[in-house]
Amino acid sequence: DSGVTQTPKHLITATGQRVTLRCSPRSGDLSVYWYQQSLDQGLQFLIQYYNGEERAKGNILERFSAQQFPDLHSELNLSSLELGDSALYFCASSDPDRSSYGYTFGSGTRLTVV
Amino acid sequence: GESVGLHLPTLSVQEGDNSIINCAYSNSASDYFIWYKQESGKGPQFIIDIRSNMDKRQGQRVTVLLNKTVKHLSLQIAATQPGDSAVYFCAELYYNQGGKLIFGQGTELSVKP
C-alpha cells in the first residue's frame, strides 16, 4: 500500500456520461497530481493541486475538471465522456519538503467508456 | 516542447544479467530526473532520482547515469531478477513549475529465468 488511495478501482460507463474519480493523498502530502495513462500516450500529466489551489495544468481537456478539498483529498471530474477517454487515471501525491522529489502513486482507476 | 522519450520499447534479458534502460530528453530546464517502475495493474513506483547537477547516483542494485551533454539518461539494474520485470519510465521534474513531472514513453523489461 503506497498510502495514496484511489476509488473506484474500476468504472464502466457509457459515452456522454459524467464520472468522478477520487483520490486521498499520502498523509502529510499537500500536492496532488492527476495523470492519464493510455496505451498509445503513456503517462500524461493532467493537473496539479497544492493545498487546495491549482498549481499547474497539463494536457487536460475542457471536459475534465478537478479540485482539492480542505481535507486535501482530490476529485477528478470527467464529463461528456468519449470512447477515447478510456484509460487508467492515476493520482499521485508529494511533499516538496521531502528530501526526495519522487511522487507516490495510487493504484489507479481504470475507466472504460462503452 | 517538453518531451522525454525512450530509445527501446522492449528489453529482454536473462536472469542474473545486467540491464540497461536508456532515455533521451529534449528539455534541459529540469531539476531532477526520476526513474519509475510500473508492474502490471499497479501505479508507478519510485526507484531512484538524480539531481541535474550530478552525473551518477547509485542505489540498491540500480545506478542512474546522466549525460547532460547529449541529454541522455540511463538506468542500470545489476543481477536482474524476475521480479524486475515491469515497464520502466524515466521522468523529468520541473521544480519551478510546482513539481510537474513529465514522463517518457516507457520500456518494458522482460527477465527470462
State whether A101 and B41 contact (CB < 8 Å). Answer: no
Contact B34 A42 (CB under 8 A): no
Say which residues have a Cβ less than 8 Å from residue A62's Cβ, sequence separation at least 6: none
Averaged pLDDT score across all residues of chain A? 92
Domains along chain B?
Answer: 4-112 (2.60.40.10)
The verdict on a CB contact (< 8 Å) between A103 and B31 is: no
pLDDT at B95: 74
- By the CB < 8 Å criterion, does B95 face chain A? yes
CB-CB under 8 Å, A102 with B49:
yes
Residues A112, B26: Cα–Cα separation, whole Å: 33
**In this complex, is the C-beta atom of B50 within 8 Å of any C-beta atom belonging to chain A?**
no
Closest Cβ–Cβ partner in A35, A100, A107 for B42: A107
Chain A interface includes B49 (CB < 8 A): yes
Give the percent of chain A with pLDDT over 90.
Answer: 78
- Find the mean pLDDT for residues A38-48: 84
* Bridge partners (DSSP) listed for residue A48: A33, A56
Residue B102 to residue B3: CA distance in whole angstroms: 7
Q: What is the pLDDT of residue A96?
A: 63
Give the pLDDT band (50/70/90) at residue A41. Answer: low
Are A94 and A34 within 8 A, CB to CB?
no
Say yes or no to pLDDT of A114 above 90: yes
Q: Which of A6-15, A79-88, A92-101 has the lowest mean pLDDT?
A: A92-101
User: Nearest-CA neighbor of B104 among B35, B53, B20?
Assistant: B35
Kindly give the parts of chain B with pLDDT less than 70. 1-8
HEC readout, A75-101:
EEEECCCCHHHCEEEEEEEECCCCCCC
Residue A4 has pLDDT above 90, yes or no: yes
- Residues in A lying within 8 Å of B, measured between beta carbons: 2, 4, 31, 33, 35, 42-45, 48, 50, 55-56, 58, 90, 92, 94, 96, 100-108
